[in-house]
Structure 1
Amino acid sequence: MKKLLLVAVLATPLLSGCIVAVSDGEVEHGWVNNSGNWERTFQDNRKKIAQLSLGTNYQSVLDSFDTPEFTELVKKGENVYQVLYFATNSKHSDGKITKDECTPLVFKDAKLIGFGESAMAEIL
């Protein structure tokens, strides 16, 4: 009985993690597997993105969202581009978030210049 209790106590912290980074471009979130929570998160992200205005400051966007699923930083010429990826739709239903399930928000010199694939095309 004592061994079972010890195993349960030691295993509990391992089960309470929220985010696990995966090196192949996927992120696993605990909320994705909880029925309904991921749908609410995706919907909230889509709603927030739809309300953004061009020129919005990078930090104010970070402050209004949860942690982005992915981030990128690129310097091209004299400009610095930052890209934040937020989960907005589920394509794989595997409990992992990939970039193709996210909407990219593109910032040039810390100001929002657009979001989505068309905005990404501008910096590629």
Structure 2
Amino acid sequence: MNVFYRLCLVASLSLLATGCVFIDGKHVNKDDWWDTQRDNREAISRLEIGMEREAVINRLGAPDDSEAFNTDDGKEVRILFYRTNHKHSDGETTRDETTPLVFQDDVLTGWGHSVYEAVR
């Protein structure tokens, strides 16, 4: 019987030592965000200046963040932010972990932080 109890103890301890991370009730897998970043970088590298915003969203999916404003000359500017560069293990996607895609009147005019800063 002593061997049986030891086996039960080892089995119980091994079950306690393993586990999963859950955030908001969902299982979080490191590979999910890693794959998303890689896929976003690849898709962004294949974009063409002049693409329509809807075509870009169809290719990349919903952005991680966005903003929009009108310029002084009446043009509508939209910026879509897609996660491309993990920096902080805090469960949040911050702007410094994204690549901004800049649209003027729903046409892609450029991407990257230098383009974003130029239109701000």
Shared fold (TM-score, shorter chain, > 0.5): yes
| Alignment partner, residue 15 of structure 1 | 25
Kindly provide the amino acid, as one letter, of the partner of residue 15 in structure 1.
G
Match status 1:86 vs 2:95: no
* Bigger radius of gyration: 2
Query: How big is the alpha-carbon RMSD for the aligned residues of Structure 1 and Structure 2?
Result: 1.4
User: Which consecutive residues of structure 2, in runs of 5 or more, have no partner in the other structure?
Assistant: 1-23
Instruction: State the number of aligned residues.
Output: 96
CA distance in 2, matches of 1:36, 1:119: 30
Structure 1 segments, 4+ long, off by >2 Å, are none
Kindly provide the amino acid, as one letter, of the partner of residue 103 in structure 2.
F
Kindly provide the amino acid, as one letter, of the partner of residue 35 in structure 1.
K
| Alignment partner, residue 65 of structure 1 | 60
| Alignment partner, residue 92 of structure 2 | 96
Percent pairwise identity: 34
Q: Please give the TM-score of this superposition, normalised by the length of structure 2.
A: 0.75
- Which has the larger strand fraction? 1
Per-residue deviation at 1:15?
A: 1.5
Please point out which of 26, 30, 33 is paired with 1:35: 30
Q: Secondary structure at the match of 2:96?
A: helix
